[in-house]
Structure 1
Amino acid sequence: MVNYLHALRRRRTKRLTAQYASDQHGGDQRVAVIGLGRFGSSLANELMRRGWDVLGVDTDPHLVQRLSDDLTHAAVADCTDPEALRQLGVHEFSSAVVGIGTDIEASILISANLLEAEVPNIWAKAISRQHGQILERLGVHHVVLPEHEMGERVAHLVTGRMLDFIEFDDDYALVKTVVPEVATGMPLGESQVRTKYGITVVGIKRPGEGFTYATAETVITKGDVIIVTGKTQAVEAFAELD
């Protein structure tokens, strides 16, 4: 179970990384990751794997030493001091991520320093909704609550028939689930699942085969695994149908 949760956490970090990368503009693939704990180091390594130049910063020399060979640059510095950020040249980066969570004061001070330095795109990790609200009020462009969101995701998997669950902004979700019987035995266009249940089937995986796109002519059979999108409440209800 522990290994499974670790795998989910890694997948969540990769999804955040993809979302982060998709929000970047201007072709500048340099990012400063401040805080190299589990979240920050996972994010930094994934960005490196995707071809980004990563400056990793932490106050702990052991963490910096451990990652120094993996990142483009790694430095020991206290970024609650705006002068430290200036000396590192972070103000010249188009993007920065504050991966510090447990030290809320440091998280807020560093975020404020990055905003003062006019870094165009700032991400910050929060450990609670209150922490996240403070960061948002400061003006941080993107706030993530990885532990909270992971808890919600695992809750969906534990309590339902879903095989995977990803929720996006604006109450929209993507769900992997075994197909309910109501959607089997006829082409999707005839089943009218979109009209009846407010969801769209976008992918299908038959036993022993890989995933493929679903079309209006696709006939789903019992035991197939499908990918469904729609409003969160709608996909939750559809996944629970017998």
Structure 2
Amino acid sequence: MPQHRRPDDKRVLVIGLGRFGSSLALELVDRGWEVLGVDSNARLVQTFADALTHTVIADSTDEEALRQIGAPEFTRAVVAIGTHLEESILTTSLLVDMGVSTIWAKATSRRHGRILEQVGAHHVVQPEHDMGERVAHLLSGRMLDYVELEEGFSLGKTKAPKELIGKPLRETKVRQKYGITVVSVKRINSPFTYATEETVLQKGDVIVVAGRTDDVERFSEVI
């Protein structure tokens, strides 16, 4: 039976304590989550034994081993196995069969990702690919930061161009001209705030814009 998530259930099962899995697990612990870290490598388990809530040496492709560590009791799990595709796919499939309601899985390629989705992973991430794509966007343009929300739609952080400074955003017609929406603004030495049609940008402002990836990139080139 699928597990029902409780509002206060801040437990997560992280399988695979390599660079991605361990970084994720440590960050979750810092955020107040209870993390059970699992790996078949005794050295890795020992390395993170004091940093994570619980750690255990186990073969995640063994259904009985997963049941013994309480995998079916978790509503959230991360399969962070990257180097062994068969183990990654089989582990994900077993967690699906056990009714874990939210499964994140790391993929090393698009083909690997498609297979993980086919066996039932709810969220598939490609850390190396995603970071490479993000850095490429930052290197090739003037954006200060970039996040792709889904294929073809992104958020970009950039400096406010001269043509937008000194008048309300509604008068700039930025959406009609560039196809993007200014969603937030940051003044010098101030935090980000929501942007409205009445927001007047100032010299030195940093803005976050949303839109189709091509439009966001084109807008970031405006000086």
TM tier, smaller:
over 0.9
State how far apart, in whole Å, the 1-side matches of 2:52 and 2:182 are: 40
Match of 1:40 in 2: 21
Aligned counterpart in structure 2 of residue 202 of structure 1, from 167, 183, 196: 183
Match of 2:150 in 1: 169
Structure 2 residue matching 1:124: 3-state secondary structure: strand
State how far apart, in whole Å, the 1-side matches of 2:90 and 2:172 are: 55
Residue 120 of structure 1: CA displacement? 1.3
**Deviating runs (4+, > 4 A) in structure 1?**
none
Residue 25 of structure 1: CA displacement? 4.3
State how 1:118-157 maps to structure 2 within 5 Å: 118-157=99-138
State how far apart, in whole Å, the 2-side matches of 1:77 and 1:155 are: 38
Give the number of aligned pairs: 219
Greater RCO (CA < 8 Å, at least 6 residues apart): 2
Structure 2 residue matching 1:228: 3-state secondary structure: strand
Deviations 1:162-218 (A, max 9, x none): 000001125321111012223223111211112322211122223344333322222
Residue 61 of structure 1: CA displacement? 1.2
Residue 56 of structure 1: CA displacement? 0.3
Match of 1:26 in 2: 6
Any unmatched runs of 5+ in structure 1?
1-23
Match of 1:17 in 2: none
- The residue identity in structure 1 corresponding to 2:33 is W
Computed over aligned residues only, the root mean square deviation of the Cα atoms, in angstroms, reads 1.6
Residue 150 of structure 1: CA displacement? 0.4
State how far apart, in whole Å, the 1-side matches of 2:76 and 2:186 are: 38
Any unmatched runs of 5+ in structure 2?
none
- The residue identity in structure 2 corresponding to 1:227 is V
Q: TM-score with structure 1 length normalisation?
A: 0.85
Residue 149 of structure 1: CA displacement? 0.6
Structure 1 residue 219 corresponds to structure 2 residue 189: no
State how far apart, in whole Å, the 2-side matches of 1:231 and 1:184 are: 23
Aligned counterpart in structure 1 of residue 63 of structure 2, from 82, 87, 90: 82
Higher mean displacement: 225-234 or 146-155 = 225-234
State how far apart, in whole Å, the 1-side matches of 2:61 and 2:47 are: 22
**CA 1:25–1:171 in 2, change beyond 3 Å: closer, same or farther?**
farther
Residue 152 of structure 1: CA displacement? 0.5
State how far apart, in whole Å, the 2-side matches of 1:50 and 1:171 are: 31
State how far apart, in whole Å, the 1-side matches of 2:186 and 2:101 are: 41
Structure 2 residue matching 1:26: 3-state secondary structure: coil
Q: More helix by proportion, 1 or 2?
A: 1
State how far apart, in whole Å, the 1-side matches of 2:183 and 2:150 are: 19
- The residue identity in structure 1 corresponding to 2:191 is G
Structure 1 residue 100 corresponds to structure 2 residue 81: yes
Deviations 1:16-38 (A, max 9, x none): xxxxxxxx943222111000011
- The residue identity in structure 2 corresponding to 1:49 is D
Deviations 1:132-158 (A, max 9, x none): 011111111111011101011000100
State how far apart, in whole Å, the 1-side matches of 2:129 and 2:103 are: 20
- The residue identity in structure 2 corresponding to 1:133 is R
State how far apart, in whole Å, the 2-side matches of 1:117 and 1:55 are: 17
